[in-house]
Amino acid sequence: MTPGDRFGYLVILRESSRAANGSRRYVCLCACGRETTQRRHDLRAGNVVSCGCIGRLGRIASLNARNIRAAHERKQQQRGIDADSLGVLYSIARAA
């Protein structure tokens, strides 16, 4: 796993400190613009696909791209995320 790898709506930014049990963890950027730290195992297994803003895997299947984009636009407005980074994140969401 290297920076730039994508897991659902998460993109790996860098490796984080290891968990207490020694498992590797990674700092990820979510499509909503939030950073989140997740365990390698959970990413690879598909247990986590976002920072939690999208919901669990079962819900993602029911969300179409338009709904995801609308949800992210709302979050952008709430958080003041700039348009450039949002454009990058849209391309991630579209590819998902």
Write out the residues near Zn ion by the rule CB under 5 A: 30, 32, 34, 50-51, 53
Give min distance, CB of 52 to Zn ion, in A. 6
Residue 6 or 34: the one with the smaller Cβ distance to Zn ion is 34
Structure tokens at 45: 């297994």
Residue 22 or 80: the one with the smaller Cβ distance to Zn ion is 80
How many Cβ atoms sit within 10 Å of the Cβ of residue 46? 10
Q: Sign of dihedral through CA atoms 65, 71, 74, 78?
A: negative
Contact assessment for residue 46 and residue 57, using Cβ atoms and an 8 Å cutoff: yes
Give min distance, CB of 9 to Zn ion, in A. 6
Give min distance, CB of 49 to Zn ion, in A. 10
Residue 18 or 70: the one with the smaller Cβ distance to Zn ion is 70
Give min distance, CB of 17 to Zn ion, in A. 21
For residue 33, give the nearest of 55, 14, 51, 6 by alpha carbon: 51
How many Cβ atoms sit within 10 Å of the Cβ of residue 83? 7
Residue 38 or 50: the one with the smaller Cβ distance to Zn ion is 50
